[in-house]
Amino acid sequence: MTQAPTQARTVKLVYFAWVRERIGVSEETVAPPAGTETIADLVRWLKTRDEGYEAAFENEAIVRAAIDHHHVKPDAVITGAREIAFFPPMTGG
Amino acid sequence: MAMTPIIRIQREDFDLSAEIAALTAGRSDIGAVVSFAGLCRDEGGRLKALELEHYPGMAEAEIARVAEEAARRWPLSGLVAVHRHGLVAPGEQIVLVIAASAHRRAAFEAAEFLMDYLKTRAPFWKREHLVDGTTGGWVEAKAEDDAAAQRWD
C-alpha cells in the first residue's frame, strides 16, 4: 500500500452578530467530514455539533454565507475555501 | 479616464464638505456632485446609541464591488463611500456616499444605487443600546431595503 495518510481538510469559519453570539465564538478552524461539499452540507454538519449551532442555524434560510469575502448561496461548493463566514441579513447604511 | 472609488471603513466621524472638496480639487470636468449622509436616529428618545459590527476585509471588498458596478452603469468622475463602525450616538453620522459626474442624472442615480446596494450587501450589522441602560436586540433587515436594491436589477 502506497496510500498517503489522509490529512483532514480544515477551513476557517467566522461568525458575526447574532450568529456569533449563538455559536459562542467569533472564529474557529474546523475539519468537516468527508462528503462536505457545499455550504448547505457544512451547515447540516455544524448543526450536529451542539445546541449553539442548532440555535444559530435554526432558520437556515435566514443565515447568509460568504466564501473568501464573496456572498454565496447554500449550494456553493466550499472546496478550496480559505475562510467561510456566516451572518444574519445585513443592516448597515 | 479610469475612476478609482474612495472607500473607507472607520471608527471616526467624517466631514462631508472636506470629502467633497478632496474629490473635486483640481478638477474642471465635474458638473454634478450628489452626496448622501445617513445619520443615527434616537427612535423617539428610546435609543442611546447604535453599535455597528462589520466584517473587516469583506466590508471594503463588497463596497468596492458595488462601486465598480456603479462605474459600469454610469459615466462617473468620482465615487466616495465611508461607513463607520463601533458606537454611534443619535444625531451622529453613520454613512456617506458621494457620486460625481459631468451631469446631474448620473450623479443622482449612482448615489442612490450605491446606498441601496450598500444597505443590503455590505456586511454591517446594527445593534441597539437603549437609554434605560440595556442592550436591545440586533436591528432586523427590512424587506423594503431588499425591494429598493432589487429595482436596480
| CATH of range B6-150; options 3.90.1150.10, 3.90.1170.40, 3.40.50.1100, 3.30.70.360 | 3.90.1170.40
Residue with cell 448597515: A92
pLDDT at res. B77:
97
| ipTM of predicted complex | 0.91
Tell the residue number behind the cell numbers 475555501, with chain if given. A81
Write out pLDDT tens, residues A13-42.
Answer: 999 999 999 999 999 999 999 999 999 999
In which band, very low, low, confident or very high, does the pLDDT at B1 lie, cut at 50, 70 and 90? Answer: very low
Q: Which three cell numbers stand for residue B149?
A: 436594491
Which of chain B's residues have a Cβ under 8 Å away from the Cβ of A91?
119, 124-126, 138-141
Mean pLDDT, residues B103-131 taken together: 97
Distances (CA, A) of B95 to B9, B20, B55: 9, 14, 16
The closest CB to that of B122, out of A14, A18, A90, belongs to A90
Any B CB within 8 A of A31 CB: no
Question: Which domains, and CATH codes, for chain A?
Answer: 11-87 (3.10.20.30)
Residue A73 near chain B (CB below 8 Å): no
pTM above 0.90, yes or no: yes
How far apart (Å, rounded) are the C-alpha atoms in residues A7 and B132?
53
